[in-house]
A and B are shown apart, each in its own frame.
Chain A
Amino acid sequence: MDDNLKQIAILFTAFAVPILLLLFKQQRILLAWVGVTLLVHIFDTSIYTNLAAGRLVGLAFFCQVRFSR
Chain B
Amino acid sequence: MAQDYACKSLGLFLFLSDNSSGYIRLYYSLVGPNYGQTVFDAPGKSIVYSVRLISDFSLALFVADQLRIPDSLKYLLRAMAWGASATAIAGIFYLVSKFDIYHFITGLGEQVLNNDRTRGLSIEPRAMGLGAYGVMVLLLGRRSISKYWILLLFINLFD
Contacts and interface: CB of A to CB of B under 8 A. Distances in A.
Interface string B20-51: 00000000000000000000000000001001
Contact of B63 (A31, A41, A46): A31
A6 B83 contact: no
Interface in B42-84: 48, 51-52, 54-63, 66, 69, 72, 75-80, 82-84
Interface stretch (B10-18, B92-100, B119-127): B119-127
Contacts, number: 113
A34 B75 contact: no
The size class of the interface chain A forms with chain B is 20 to 34
Interface in A22-69: 27-28, 30-42, 44, 46, 50-51, 54-59, 61-62, 65
Give the secondary structure class of B's interface. helix
B63 A36 contact: no
A55 B106 contact: no
